[in-house]
Amino acid sequence: MAEKVTIATVARHAQVSRQTVSNVLNAPHIVREETRRRVQEAIATLGYRANQAARQMRTGRSRLIAVRIEPTRDGINGSVLDRFLHGLTETADAAGYRVLLYSATGDDHEIATYDDLLGAYDLDGFVLTGTDHGDPRTAWLAERGVPFVTFGRPWDAPDAHPWVDVDGAAGTAQATRRFLDTGHRRVAFIGWPEGSGVGDDRRAGWRTAMAAAGLDGAAPHRATEDGIDQGEREMRELLAADAPPTAVVCVSDSLALGALRAVRDTQVPVAVTGFDDTPVAAAVGLTSVSQPLAAAAARCVELLTGVLDGQPTAPHVLLSPTLVLRHTA
């Protein structure tokens, strides 16, 4: 009979103490990254499985966190949160947690789902995505003392609760500056209608970079709902102007792919950059701003476990994106 794998077995294999293994399972944020990785590799190699029922009785926790599955929309930008969920599930698993997925069609539906889930499961907390101004979901959870963190800023009150986000303005500013550095002067922007926290943040980066170059009036910006067809329509409008842009920064890959379709159809030489670096963007060679989704997911788990342990590691985390260059820009 094979020897039973215990915490002590994992500790010997990883050359750490049993307490360190316990910390990796129950409070990974207090363990150094190198040590945590070594313990996690030992757990995977040995096939260690903690006794979940016993641990729940000891800690008073279910080790279960919930997160929403986003709508697929056009199947392009929806993949962004698919990658985030993958990273969240992996990181949570390494920390000894399981992820419960749920769907919702809007804020009211999601809040009703919170109520149902909290009644049906002994959840430890939530990871929310897609924050916006006056978000009623965070208010509902906070009023009831339910632990949560968000992937996305609380746009109206930055210190309202723990959050992780990606600096969208830095991403579009980086894309805009690259166009300016390569000789473009009429750099347009295709974004979402005003009022969206994420969309406004990304537009601000483009505007700031253009203003710093003394070109804030040199190119227009367009606003539309997200989608490939919408991006194509807005790009055609820009190309029909008396002084069309020579480059365009888009708030999403969906809009950028539509803009690229218009450019290739009209054969007007306009460079296009998107945002989110989706698999479709990579497949067609579209330059795009990439979000560090695995890092964002890991930090969300770290913040939430800190909240649950009463030892939050930071009030918020703002991560930097990266511009991925391809032949379209």
Q: Taking each helix axis as running N to C, give the angle between helix 33-46 and helix 7-14, from 0 to 180 degrees, rounded to the nearest 10.
A: 120
CATH code for the domain of 44: 1.10.260.40
The DSSP letter of residue 152 is S
Q: Considering the domain boundaries, does residue 327 fall inside one? A: no
**12 shares its domain with 42:** yes
Q: Considering the domain boundaries, does residue 2 fall inside one? A: no
pTM to 2 decimal places: 0.80
The DSSP letter of residue 75 is S
**157 shares its domain with 232:** no
**42 shares its domain with 151:** no
pLDDT value, residue 78:
65
pLDDT value, residue 58:
46
Structural domains of the chain, count: 3
**184 shares its domain with 153:** no
Backbone angles phi, psi at 287, to 5 degrees: -65, 135
Residue 253: which of 175, 313, 159 has the closest Cα?
Answer: 175
Residue ranges of the chain whose pLDDT lies below 50: 1-2, 52-58
Residue 303: which of 288, 294, 315 has the closest Cα?
Answer: 315
Give the count of beta carbons closer than 10 Å to the beta carbon of residue 194.
9
**201 shares its domain with 277:** yes
pLDDT value, residue 298:
93
Give the count of beta carbons closer than 10 Å to the beta carbon of residue 2.
5
Q: Are 257 and 229 in contact (CB under 8 A)?
A: no
HSE of 329 in the Cβ direction (CA atoms, 13 Å)? 32
**113 shares its domain with 22:** no
Q: Considering the domain boundaries, does residue 244 fall inside one? A: yes
Cα separation, 192 vs 254, whole angstroms:
11
**177 shares its domain with 273:** yes
pLDDT value, residue 73:
63
Helix (H) or strand (E) holding 317: strand 316-319
CATH code for the domain of 224: 3.40.50.2300
**99 shares its domain with 243:** no
**What separation in angstroms does the CA of 310 have from each of 59, 123, 131, 147, 184?**
13, 17, 24, 10, 51
**44 shares its domain with 87:** no
pLDDT value, residue 54:
47
Q: Considering the domain boundaries, does residue 277 fall inside one? A: yes
Q: Considering the domain boundaries, does residue 130 fall inside one? A: yes
Cα separation, 154 vs 131, whole angstroms:
6
Q: Are 143 and 118 in contact (CB under 8 A)?
A: no
Q: Considering the domain boundaries, does residue 305 fall inside one? A: yes
Q: Considering the domain boundaries, does residue 58 fall inside one? A: no
**307 shares its domain with 265:** no
**69 shares its domain with 146:** yes
**239 shares its domain with 154:** no
Find the domain containing 17 and state its range.
7-50
Give the pLDDT confidence of 290-324 residue by residue, as tens digits: 999 999 999 999 999 988 888 766 788 999 999 99
Q: Considering the domain boundaries, does residue 326 fall inside one? A: no
Sequence-ordered list of residues with C-beta below 8 angstroms from that of 130, at least 6 positions apart, any chain: 70, 81, 151, 152
